[in-house]
Amino acid sequence: MSEHLAGVDRAVTGAIVAGGKNERFGGEPKGLFQVGGVRIIDRVASAIRAVTTEVVLVANARDAEQWLAGVPVHRDTRPERGSVVGVHTAIATARARDVVLVVAWDMPFVSADLLSLLATRVRDGAFAAFPEGPSGPEPFCAAYTAACLPDIERAIARGDFRMASVVAALPNATRVGLAEVRRFGDPAKLFFNVNTTADLETAERMAAEG
């Protein structure tokens, strides 16, 4: 476990959120593609395991149990569809006092040390901790607590499935600014998402560059 978590009095669960229909990949699960010879989902799981030994996968695919050996799969707890529902499932299925590190399964360069820092930022009463990326806060590389659930559920109830809206409305959330994020690497790389085949080619180049 990372030294950043020394003294934290709350358990930490890492939730890999595998959402979307993968239409840009012809229906193939994008997190199962390789970057630098390693599946993206394995890269994410490796970063999370450096912070905590408890990893879960939030996915609705029928074969999701086959993606990561020994990792429990949680399917969405609500019937609605949208990225916010996956985050809701990750938090709602964890133990009430857990810090939940939510990471999208299409982020091949996520930093274990950054995840560890995010976990520490919620131990003193913050509801959530979000790092800043080049385009704003990154809700799919963030730390949450159960205190976020009422606000997330209200957003879902009013039909607002945008995580950006949830982040903006959450009380008592802390931000890790770009200057601090840069301690862990280039934010454009850390939060890079593989959404298309072109993105996959870009990620390969990034991995080759080191």
- Please give the single-letter amino acid code of residue 70: G
Assign residue 42 the CATH number of its domain.
3.90.550.10
139 in helix, strand or coil?
Answer: coil
C-alpha distances in Å from residue 67, one per residue of 7, 102, 180: 33, 18, 33
Q: Of 61, 68, 155, 138, nearest to 104 (Cα)?
A: 138
Which tokens is 77 given? 């707890």
Residue 31 has pLDDT above 90, yes or no: yes
Q: Of 139, 172, 126, 184, nearest to 8 (Cα)?
A: 126
The pLDDT confidence band at residue 88, using thresholds 50, 70 and 90, is very high
pLDDT in tens, 181-197: 999 999 999 999 999 99
Residue 104, domain extent: 3-209
Contact criterion met (CB below 8 Å) for 11 and 180: no
pLDDT in tens, 90-110: 999 998 889 999 999 999 999
Residue 138 has pLDDT above 90, yes or no: yes
pLDDT in tens, 37-64: 999 999 999 999 999 879 999 999 999 9
Residue 140 has pLDDT above 60, yes or no: yes
The tally of domains found in the chain comes to 1
Q: Tell me, what's the pLDDT at 5?
A: 44
